Amino acid sequence: MVKFKTWTNEALAAQCIFPKLDCDKYLLELDYKEEIKELARLGVGGFCVFNGTTESARNVLSELQIFPQVPLLFCADFENGVTMRLEDGTDFPHAMALGKTGEFTGKVAKAIAKEAKDLGVLWNLAPVCDINSNPKNPIINIRAFGENSEVVSKNIVDYINFLQGENVMACAKHFPNHGDTKVDSHIEFPKIYKDYDELADEIIPFIAAINCGVKSIMVGHLFLEKIDDKYPASLSPKIICDILREKLNYKGIVVTDALDMKAITNSFKLEEIIKLAFLAGNDVLLMPENPLKAIEILSDIIKENDEHRTKIEISVDKIYNCKRWVKLIPQYAKETTTSVFIEHQKLALRAALQAVEIQNEGMENFLPISEEEDFAAFSILQRAEDLQAASRFFTMLAGASENDCDFAYLDENISEDEIEAMLENIENAKFLIFALFYRRRAYAKGVENIDKLNYIIDKLAAGREYVTILFGDPYIAEAIQSKLKIMTFSDSFPSLAAAIMKLTGRVLPDNY
């Protein structure tokens, strides 16, 4: 253990705080930039990275390493690649798609590690170890590898081993399991009415993660009232100390889920959040709303008695050792590379293609679509933000097909007059393609009116044959009245391409 006796309380407190870093904002707003630089000088443990291009993020992270005495450990939610938080990089299929393939998870994790390292991000807040046992889960969904402990455990072990094989830290989340919930913890606390024994199956993936040496575990903002009816898991010593530390014998870093999420901030004041999170047994306090104030609060807490001081020294020692493990210490020297990761894009497409499932009820001869007949394609959007993915889909479909085709975007709010106008425009189309861009996201609602969705599809089809493609939430498939469905389990770029390959009958060349 490094001797921290000479460290000030403020220096120790700062190492346990990992604020949010918005790379775009850093480059555009001088006041924000100075605030981030001040946090770096104070010695925060690192930052959680958001927004920007890979080039801008790489430059910002490199610049910030100049200021602290102890190198910064940058983390990010790169679950299915750096594109989860940045504008470019390789967009890999989501975890559920990888879980369907049974063989690509480790390869993808290794590729993600390489791209993260190229940026200077050495702590990936992944994999999701939750079992998506509740189809109505508003936030996990395709971020989970599957619906049972066996599938999830196998995949998260592969993910952790291959990620950490590149000296990039993994993080098993969201302990003890966010899969069987009906509420998004970004908004309010999900409540789970299970005791420790009843959680046995859901904890299996976390035990697997511990057994394979995962460097960190994230605790979710979840209320388990049978275990602790006063505090959520992220602030609960009964869950962190008694279960995770003692019963499961976990010795690594424990990190809170983001402390700026509304479930937490709407229920507790900042002073309470910092004190409860620290005393509950967390080593890293992730993204508090006011990081400068959080450092001050935590510094005051550890002044209170020697026990608190000893406790934070242990946490900082863990963080310091992880920085050593990822080779930030003794002297950080980021590897320079000119790689554009072409092979990663090929890997992503192979994985996406293998993940595709087709449900076909009496339309065996429909695929691939005939090149002799005109068709119309509709992208039905859940949110305006889905327009980019839908546009990509149309562009690739037009390039892959020899047919004359019409394209249109719509959502559940389409009027009868608009439907009639579209019917006039597609009267020569022999068959139709409906691409549904529906998936569960933080702060977003799921499919609110499945009957309206079916009505729109049926009205536009007007008796013609059609195929429905689900780019995202696979759990709405059963309610969609379509004889032919293509499910990709992801709305990633390669998943769009994989669906088009299934539509047009294209195949990958040998040795792709």
- Name the token pair of 207: 């035990």
Average pLDDT of the chain, as a whole number: 92
What separation, in Å, do the N-terminal and C-terminal C-alpha atoms of the chain show?
A: 48
* Cβ-contact 250, 277 below 8 angstroms: no
> Percent of the chain scored above 90 by pLDDT?
76
How long is the chain? 512
> Looking at residue 331, what is its pLDDT?
67
Residue 404 confidence class, pLDDT cut points 50, 70, 90: confident
More confident residue, 207 or 383: 207
**Assign residue 421 a region: left if phi > 0, alpha if psi is -120 to 50, beta otherwise?**
alpha
Matching residue, tokens 């992220």: 234
Give the CATH superfamily of 9-325: Glycoside hydrolase, family 3, N-terminal domain (3.20.20.300)
- Mean per-residue pLDDT, 349-354: 97
CA 150 to chain centre: 21
pLDDT by residue (tens digit) across 65-91? 999 999 999 999 999 999 999 999 999
Domain with CATH 3.40.50.1700 in the chain: 356-504
- Name the token pair of 451: 């009957």
> Looking at residue 399, what is its pLDDT?
87
Half-sphere exposure of 4 (CA within 13 A, CB side): 23
> Looking at residue 290, what is its pLDDT?
96
Domain with CATH 3.20.20.300 in the chain: 9-325
- Mean per-residue pLDDT, 198-219: 97
**Assign residue 89 a region: left if phi > 0, alpha if psi is -120 to 50, beta otherwise?**
left
pLDDT by residue (tens digit) across 359-372? 987 777 788 888 77
Does domain 356-504 fall under CATH 1.10.490.130? My reply is no
- Mean per-residue pLDDT, 442-466: 80
368 secondary structure, DSSP code: S
Smallest CA-to-CA distance from 436 within 396, 463, 476 is with 476
Residue 236 confidence class, pLDDT cut points 50, 70, 90: very high
pLDDT(383) > 90: no
> Looking at residue 340, what is its pLDDT?
67
> Looking at residue 382, what is its pLDDT?
83
pLDDT(465) > 70: yes
Amino acid at 133: S
pLDDT(254) > 50: yes
pLDDT by residue (tens digit) across 393-403? 999 998 888 77
Residue 180 confidence class, pLDDT cut points 50, 70, 90: confident
- Name the token pair of 43: 């010695």
> Looking at residue 443, what is its pLDDT?
47
* Cβ-contact 5, 32 below 8 angstroms: no
